[in-house]
């Protein structure tokens, strides 16, 4: 059990971001307090970010040693099916050639893309346990970091699903991904929409406010602004949808007057769930989530999950 004193000790190692990681402004407003963390909105560009973030070396160690449990493995199987469907929808016949999936976890998405689309695939993953599974069980080529990808390596498609919200410096991260895209190739970014109708309706109860991990919180405007800042790239496709689990939570709150469905973030229990939480109804969700995304995904970025496809000029 992670006790209060241990939590405080951990937080002493957090650094404080004094400026917006997208525009550099130090003007903030609309703070959202999440236990011992504060999520801020930039007063100039509107981007939301967590003020307290682990130093780079501690953050890397957190992801290398963490993750790699059964809850995450089952969740990633479900997410891979959803992501593959939206990937195929966005790219169509352009889904060919070499693909690298950054933050690939257990490697279920690139493995599915290889099997169903015939792509030549690779991945990047910090988590030692997940990277080992992807290499040993799925036979994937996995680099332990972006820096470990071969110098000058270029890919037809670079993907990063639900990764950029974990990155304290998202503009630098996006630029590093863009550098791996060959001329005429594609970059696909997927992340939560922290200004979606679901996020607004649930407020501090929106379950994706996970400030010890989700430190950079995008909305449609900020995601488009990020891509617009990449030299030679333009957005050529957008899709979004709201997972049924969020819709069900909103309905439960409405019908129960707030007695059912509420979520309250607590740092200590959140760390414990990272290590030993369970993933409910994996078989049902594997099929239901994929079907729900296929039926409800729409053009644009208005849903709770956003997918933005950008193409590099040839």
How would DSSP label each residue in the chain?
Answer: ---HHHHHHHHTT-EE--S-TTT----EEEEEEETTEEEEEETTT--EEESEE--HHHHHHHHHHS--SHHHHHHHHHHHHHHHHHHHHHHGGG--SEEEEET-TTSHHHHHHHHHH--EEEEE---HHHHHHHHHTT---EESSGGGSPTT--EEEEEEES-GGG-SSHHHHHHHHHTTEEEEEEEEEEEE-TTSHHHHHHGGG-TT--TTT--EE--HHHHHHHHHTSTTEEEEEEEEE--HHHHHHHHHHHHHTTSSS-----HHHHHHHHHH-----HHHHHHHHHHHHHHH-EESS-SSEEEEEEEE--
- Residue 3's pLDDT is 37
- Residue 66's pLDDT is 79
Q: Which has the higher per-residue pLDDT, 67 or 284?
A: 284
- Residue 259's pLDDT is 82
- Residue 19's pLDDT is 95
Kindly state the average pLDDT of the residues 93-105.
98
Averaged pLDDT of the chain: 93
- Residue 54's pLDDT is 86
Model confidence, pTM? 0.96
Q: Is the pLDDT of residue 252 over 80?
A: yes
Q: Which has the higher per-residue pLDDT, 172 or 6?
A: 172
In terms of CATH, what superfamily is 4-11+65-312? Vaccinia Virus protein VP39 (3.40.50.150)
- Residue 165's pLDDT is 98
33, β-bridge pairs: 38
Q: Is the pLDDT of residue 8 over 70?
A: no
Alpha-carbon gap, residue 242 to 208, rounded angstroms: 12
Q: Is the pLDDT of residue 80 over 70?
A: yes
Question: Given pLDDT bands bounded at 50, 70 and 90, which one contains residue 215?
Answer: very high
- Residue 9's pLDDT is 64
- Residue 166's pLDDT is 97
Condensed to tens digits (0 to 9), the pLDDT of residues 69-78 reads 999 999 999 9
- Residue 11's pLDDT is 67
Question: Given pLDDT bands bounded at 50, 70 and 90, which one contains residue 67?
Answer: confident
Question: Given pLDDT bands bounded at 50, 70 and 90, which one contains residue 170?
Answer: very high
Condensed to tens digits (0 to 9), the pLDDT of residues 227-249 reads 999 999 999 999 999 999 999 99
Condensed to tens digits (0 to 9), the pLDDT of residues 269-311 reads 888 888 888 899 999 999 999 999 999 999 999 999 999 999 9
Condensed to tens digits (0 to 9), the pLDDT of residues 102-147 reads 999 999 999 999 999 999 999 999 999 999 999 999 999 999 999 9
Q: Are 35 and 266 in contact (CB under 8 A)?
A: yes
Question: Given pLDDT bands bounded at 50, 70 and 90, which one contains residue 5?
Answer: very low
Question: Given pLDDT bands bounded at 50, 70 and 90, which one contains residue 57?
Answer: confident
Residues in Cβ contact with 231 at an 8 Å cutoff, skipping those fewer than 6 apart: 178
Condensed to tens digits (0 to 9), the pLDDT of residues 179-212 reads 999 999 999 999 999 999 999 989 898 999 999 9
């Amino acid at each position: 059990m992670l006790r209060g004193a241990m939590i405080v000790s951990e937080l002493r190692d957090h650094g404080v971001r004094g400026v917006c990681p997208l525009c550099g402004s130090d003007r903030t407003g609309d703070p959202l307090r999440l236990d011992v963390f504060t999520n801020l909105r930039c007063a100039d560009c509107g981007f939301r970010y967590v003020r307290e973030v682990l130093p780079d070396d501690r953050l890397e160690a957190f992801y290398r040693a963490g993750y790699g449990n059964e809850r995450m493995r089952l969740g990633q199987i479900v997410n891979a099916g959803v992501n593959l469907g939206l990937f195929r929808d966005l790219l169509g016949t352009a889904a060919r050639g070499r693909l690298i999936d950054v933050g690939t976890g257990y490697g279920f998405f690139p493995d599915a893309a290889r099997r169903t689309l015939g792509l030549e695939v690779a991945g990047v993953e910090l988590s030692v346990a997940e990277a080992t599974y992807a290499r040993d069980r799925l036979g994937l080529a996995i680099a332990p970091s972006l820096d470990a990808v071969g110098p000058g390596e270029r890919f037809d498609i670079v993907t990063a699903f639900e990764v950029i919200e974990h990155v304290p410096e998202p503009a630098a991260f996006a630029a590093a991904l863009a550098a791996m895209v060959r001329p005429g190739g594609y970059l696909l970014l997927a992340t939560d929409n922290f200004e979606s109708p679901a996020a607004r309706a649930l407020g501090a109860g929106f379950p994706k406010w996970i400030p010890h991990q989700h430190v950079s919180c995008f909305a449609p405007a900020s995601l488009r602004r990020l891509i617009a800042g990449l030299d030679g790239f333009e957005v050529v496709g957008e899709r979004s949808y709201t997972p049924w689990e969020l819709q069900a939570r909103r309905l439960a709150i409405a019908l129960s007057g707030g007695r059912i469905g509420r979520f309250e973030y607590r740092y200590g229990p959140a760390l414990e769930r990272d290590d030993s939480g369970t993933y409910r109804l994996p078989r049902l969700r594997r099929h239901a989530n994929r079907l729900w995304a296929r039926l409800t995904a729409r053009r644009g970025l208005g849903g709770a999950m956003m997918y933005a496809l950008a193409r590099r000029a040839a």
